[in-house]
Structure 1
C-alpha cells in the first residue's frame, strides 16, 4: 500500500513538473513573439536633440520628401506638392498624400518618423504621434541639407558620396560653361506668376543653387541688389530689361500669365532675340534635392553646351 502511494505521489510530481516546464517554455515562446522595439538614437536637429529610430521604416514627409526619396527612405505619407511633381510620379506611387491640416490620416499611417518645417501647422500634435524633425528652408545649402537627411536616416555615407560626385560634375560643367559664354556673362532665373513676374537669388530652387552656388555663374547686378537677400523679387514687365541677363532660365508656371511673352519688351530682350532662353516646367524644379539637381544639371549642360 505504501509503495502504491509512493508511486502515485511520484506520478503526480512528474506531471506537475512537466506542466510547469511546459508553461515556462510557452512563456519563452510568447516573449519571443513580442515585436522588438526599434533602436533609438539621438539626432542633433536645428531645434535640439531628438530621439529618432536608428533605421526608420515608416516615414511621413511634410517637407524634404524628395531628399528622402533620393536616399531610398521608406515613405508612407507625403505632401501633395511632391506627389504632384512630374519628376517623382513613378517614385511616389502607392504613397498616401497627407496634409498638416488634417493629422488623423497621419495617425492612421503609424509613422515612426515625421519630417516637417518649423512653420508646419499642428506641429505639437505631430510630435505626439512620432519623433518629429524640422528643417528650415534655406538654413543649410542644398548639399549640406542632403547630408543632414542622410544623418537622420542613417545613410550619411550614401549622402556624402552623392554630394562629392555631384559637386565635381557641377563644378566641371560650370567651368566649361564660363569658358564658352565668357566669364562676365550673366544668367537670370525668372518665373511667371499669375499677375506678375519673379526673379530669384541664389537659394530659391529653380536651379538657382546650382547655377550660382556651384557653377558660380553671374547674376545681373539688379538681381543681386533686389533678390539676393530675400531670395526672390516680384517685378513688372516694364522693368524686366533691368533684371534680364544675357541668358534666361524661364520657369513657366502652368497657371501663370504668359501674356508678357507677346510684348515688345520681352521680344526685344537680347537673350530672347539671340535664342538664349531655356523654358522649364515650374512644377518640376521647385526642389533642390539630388533627383531635381541631376535633372537640372543635364538641362543646363544641354542648354549652354549642347551636351545631351
Structure 2
C-alpha cells in the first residue's frame, strides 16, 4: 500500500513537472512571437516622435511611393500620381492599390497597412488611428543621396540606402564620362530647366523633378547664378518671355506640363517663334533638349538613377546632329 501511495505521489510530481515545463515552453514561444510581430521603434518626424514597426510590411504612400520602392519597401497602396510613374514596374503595380488623388481613410483601412508615409500633413490626423503616419513635408528630403539616406532611416533599410548611393555614384561617373568624351564637360557647363504649364512658362531649380537632380546632383552640371537663386528659394518661378535672357544657360531642358494640351501647344508655338527665345545661345547652338514630361516629373531614387542615362543620351543625340 505504501508503495502504491509513493508511486502515485511520484507520478503526480512528474505530471506537474511536465505541465510546468510545457507551460514555460509555450510562454517563451508566445513571448517570442509577440516580440517579433509587434517590434517597434521610435523615430523623429515633422509632427513629433512616432512609434513605427521595426520592419514595416504593408506601407501606404502619398508622393513617396517611388522612394519606398527604391529601397525595397513593400507598398500596398499609393495615390494615383505616384501610381502613374513610368519608373514603377508592372510587377510592382500588381501588388499596389491605386487609391486615387488622396488617401481616403476608408480605402486605406481596407488595406490594413502597418505604416503610412505622406507629404500631406492632414493625413496624420485622418489616418493615425489606422496605422502610424510618418509625415515628410514636400521638398525637405534634400538632394537625392540625402533622400535615399532619409528613407533608409525611416524604413530601417540603411544597408539598401548605402547600396543604392554606391550604384548611383557609379552610374553618375559613367554617364559624365560619356559626356566629357563628347566634349561636354558638366563641371564647366550650365543647364536651365524650363517648363510650360497651362500656357505659363516656369524656370525650375534642381530640387524638384524635371531632371534637375540627375543633371546637377548626379552629373555635376551647374546652374546659372540667376537660377541658383530660384533653387535656393521656392525652387521654381514663373517668368515672362521678355526675361528669358536673364535665365539663359549653355543647355536648356524643356518639358510640357499641362491639363489643357491645346492651350499649351499654342503657348509653346508662341515661345519657339519669339525672337527672344530664338536669340538664346543654347537655341542657336541646338542645345535644347525636350523630353516627355512624365519621364522627368518624378525624382525618387529609381527615377533619378534612370534619368542619368536618359538625359545623357538626349544631349549626345543633340550634339551629334
* Structure-2-length-normalised TM-score: 0.78
Q: From 247, 254, 257, give the equivalent of 1:243.
A: 247
Any conservation in 2 of the 1:192–1:253 contact (CA below 8 Å)? yes
Distance 1:42 1:124, change over 3 A: same
Which one has the bigger helix percentage? 2
Tell me, yes or no, if the aligned pair for 2:77 and 2:96 is still in contact at 8 Å. yes
Provide the rounded CA distance (Å) in 2 between the counterparts of 1:233 and 1:226. 7
Segments of structure 2 that go 5 or more residues without pairing to the other structure are: 5-10
In the TM superposition, residue 200 of structure 1 has moved relative to its aligned partner by 0.8
Matched residue, 1:148: 150
| Per-residue deviation, 1:303 | 2.7
Contact 2:196 2:268 in 1 (8 A): no
Distance change >3 Å, CA 101–CA 109, structure 1 → 2: closer
Displacement, 1:131? Answer: 1.2
The offset of 1:254, in angstroms, is: 5.3
Q: Deviations over 1:118-139 (max 9, x none)?
A: x432421311211111212232
Hey, what does 1:11 align to over in structure 2? none
Q: Name the residue aligned to 1:132.
A: 133
The equivalent residue for 1:40 is 40
Instruction: Please say if residues 188 and 249 of structure 1, whose CA atoms lie closer than 8 Å, have aligned partners that are also in contact.
Output: yes
* Aligned Cα root-mean-square deviation (Å): 3.6
1:212 matched to 2:219? The reply is no
Cα distance between partner residues in 2 of 1:153 and 1:177: 35
Runs of 5+ consecutive residues of structure 1 not aligned to the other structure: 8-13
Q: In structure 1, which of residues 181, 195, 213 is the aligned counterpart of residue 184 of structure 2?
A: 181
Question: Contact 1:206 / 1:282 at 8 angstroms: preserved in 2?
Answer: yes
1:130 aligned counterpart, secondary structure: coil
1:114 Cα shift? Answer: 0.6
Provide the rounded CA distance (Å) in 2 between the counterparts of 1:178 and 1:164: 21
Contact 2:199 2:267 in 1 (8 A): no
Question: Once the 2 structures are TM-superposed, how far is the Cα of residue 160 of structure 1 from its aligned partner?
Answer: 0.8
CA distance in structure 1 between the aligned counterparts of 2:171 and 2:191, rounded to whole angstroms: 20
Residue 78 of structure 1 and its aligned partner are, at CA, apart by 0.6
Number of the residue aligned with 2:167: 165
- Give aligned pairs, total: 301
Return the offset for 1:56. Answer: 0.9
Distance 1:215 1:96 in 2: 35
Residue 194 of structure 2 aligns to a residue in which SS?
Answer: strand
Shift of the 228–251 alpha-carbon distance from structure 1 to 2, 3 Å rule, reads farther
- Please say which of residues 82-91 and 126-135 is displaced more in the overlay: 82-91
State the partner residue of 1:111. Answer: 113
- Alignment partner for residue 300 of structure 2, among 278, 289, 292? 289
Give the conservation status (yes or no) of the 8 Å contact 1:247–1:271: yes
Q: 1:258 aligns with which of 251, 265, 278?
A: 265
In structure 2, C-alpha distance between the alignment counterparts of 1:54 and 1:276, rounded to whole Å: 49
Q: Distance in 2 between matches of 1:68 and 1:59?
A: 9
Give me the whole-angstrom Cα distance separating, in 2, the residues matched to 1:285 and 1:216. 17
Structure 1: distance between partners of 2:29 and 2:184 = 67
TM-score (norm 1): 0.81
Q: Is the 8 A contact 1:78 1:96 kept in 2?
A: yes
Residue equivalent to 1:300:
311
1:280 matched residue in structure 2: 291
